[in-house]
Structure 1
Amino acid sequence: MTPSISAEDEAVELAADLIRIDTTNTGDPATVVGEREAAEYVAAKLTEVGYEIEMVESGAARRDNVFARLPGADRSRGALLVHGHLDVVPADPSEWSVHPFSGAIQDGCLWGRGAVDMKDMVGMTLAVARRFKRDGVVPPRDLVFAFLADEEAGGKYGAGWLVEHRPDLFAGCTEAVGEVGGFSLTLPDRQGDPTRFYLIEAAEKGMAWMRLRARGKAGHGSFLHEDNAVTTLAEAVARLGNHRFPIVLTDTVRELLDTISEVTGLEFPLDDLEGSVRKLGPLSRIVGATVRDTANPTMLSAGYKANVIPSTAEAVVDCRVLPGREAAFEREVDELLGPDVTREWVTHLPAMQTSFEGDLVEAMGAALRAEDPDARAVPYMLSGGTDGKHFEEKLGVRCFGFAPLRLPPELDFASMFHGVDERVPVESLRFGARVLDRFLRTC
């Protein structure tokens, strides 16, 4: 009998193949590329080992998603959804050391757009799903594997469309694991020995992209103007962009900081929380963004000619809101904008938070410790957003981020997300495939 191919052996190859498929999501459906080709690749790999797959177009041409279900030993238990997205954000090859869609392996890393967001996890998931089917593995519960479109633009043509129009694809799913969690953070303990904390996402800030609009009186650029829409908008945008919302310590962030403090002796006093969070190194950018709401102006639009005062001016603001803070956040925003600027939500997805306890959490921790005996699983909040928002809001699924990676302590992992020279260490990817394999056998 031919020995089974291990998931870790396949994961790197599959992730590299997926990176080579340019799945750039610009946010404009007219210029999105590659999602269908990536979905067809995934579908072929699943079909090859015997899965019955369903490939679904989600609300627009070539926005394709792939689903496969592996029956478990106890069909009465809720199914576990294992999801990943196939799209990536744009990349400018002129800025990179290697071509962003080369899938190159050099200096011990797999390079390319999507290496950490999130074709590494898609490669691991696909490798484990293939091994289970080849080996006849029966997991404890049903596993639903979902490979999705359009996450990078909020999921309108992906998870958002699917939960509205095809909820049957998620039948029986009560819990889910997806991206941006399970990666290691190395800190010295009280004796100075390195301790690896594995941050599992148990919460996400809400994602709200807001359009602002000011109206004024159009006129000639040479005249005096007291009712200039551009000036009104610019002043409001500056007030909002310079504002600092209050620090709020949620249950998830508190548990993370308390656990790190207990093990390392580091202190995180409330009167200098942002300063003390910097002790976490490069990861402080992620954790620091989860202690207060943010509203960052990202786009401005006004006018059509240098000597014409326009009647309208618009801006787009990227807002990220802590769980339980939405009403207070909106009140503060309205006070800052004033009566002459209106706002509307372009994209509005709520925050989510779940408790860090239960059998699934225990299974994640046990799988990590089996591969790294010194692993310490801790919860954290993601400052961004994932498809999990759609699954929790519309289907009531309890969602976690668990794409396990044991990372070199010196790697600036936070900068890899949407950054230039995005890459993941090959050994981290192999580690993650082993952990995911163990986890899905015991979940």
Structure 2
Amino acid sequence: MMTDPYDISAPVIYDLVLRSRRTVLPDGERPAAVAIAGERIAVIGDYDEPIPAHRTEDLRDLALLPGLVDTHVHVNEPGRTEWEGFATATRAAAAGGVTTIIDMPLNSLPPTVDTAALAAKRAAARGKTWVDTGFWGGAIPGNDTELKGLHDAGVFGFKCFTAPSGVDEFPPLDTAGLHRACTTVAALDALLLVHAEDPAHLHDADSAPDFDRFLATRPPEAETSAVREIIAAARATGARVHLLHLAAAEALADLDAARRDGVRITVETCPHYLHLAAERIPDGATAFKCCPPIRGEANREALWDGLAEGRIDIVVSDHSPSPPGLKTGDFATSWGGIASLQLGLPVMWTEARRRGLALSDLARWMSTGPADLVGLDRKGRIATGADADLVAFDPEREWTVRAEDLLHRHPVTPYDRETLTGRVATTWLRGTPVDTDAAPRGRQLRRSPR
């Protein structure tokens, strides 16, 4: 029988109710039922509470987490789609519990450094994304006048480098250029992302077949020196700055002091810096190469301390894949990027659980925190009114990674054949399970005015 739409006493029947004894809510983990109406979370009730719905699914001891928000993904399309593309990257994201990505302005051709390039990026992504997708702009020498147009067109902020990026079409900013970019970004009240390595402390190597030789070319001083320069620019201009992929824990002391002084700076790190260690990287294993590099065991533990203490804000993938041919056996000449978009959640849980940390910590670092960074108030949280981006996660499941089974474009990852704990069972995007064999439902996102 049809419900009379004008009868206010008629019970509401929700589209879907998901129950889990391990629901990860903003105030912690507890048994709960999450009712979904359309694309949003409508009600959060007790686990056993009767809630009328067209469909109910009881996850029992599977955890229910907010969808991950990954604000550091290199999709590379258009122009280098043979490296990765929107279809492959977002299918891998969904399989890993990531429901929102923000795409970096390089290594696509053209890079997203003006509105025409942004239009080309959006056209390339149209109809190909299995998760919701937004875009960063780029700040490079000579494009200061382009930043306002990109900002008005809805990019989530701007990325720059202080050292060579690895691709000629996206050159770094020198000290004066960094200050100019900060001044422009401050006037827009936008966000500037910075790859922080000081070229004065980087060393060339003709060949580096062993990881130790490569590691010596990019010492911690390259990061700490660049971080001090970035803090000085942010302090002088009032810009809001975000430090990308922190690898050197030594930089945390300067960041702590700057934030105590009111400098608007946040910082991220990545699963590979929190799980891998230089001492365990085989010679010639260039799937492990990234910049800044993976450092030693003691540094990794110091990063974990910083994360647990709230001194590091978020954890994102820095998924930067390439074809196998660019990952030769020489660390000096191979492409520097880790392919890991599908694996961030189990990698982080494998490490977090052995340290006595909780799934709610992962949700704060990998869902809510990144969403808040870019102003996506309806993403990254299980809360009334939020988008119903959700993940059913088995926290007890042990499994072995097989690179050839991953959904990003090429079977290259440093996690190949590694046993991890925790596996994604289902990902819901705005209330509907993601089916990577069906048509993609991802939307393109634009920055909302703050």
Do both share a fold (TM > 0.5)? no
TM-score (norm 1): 0.25
TM-score (norm 2): 0.25
Identify which of structures 1 and 2 has the higher relative contact order when contacts are C-alpha pairs closer than 8 Å and 6+ apart.
Answer: 1
**Structure with the largest fraction of helix:** 1
Structure showing greater radius of gyration is 1
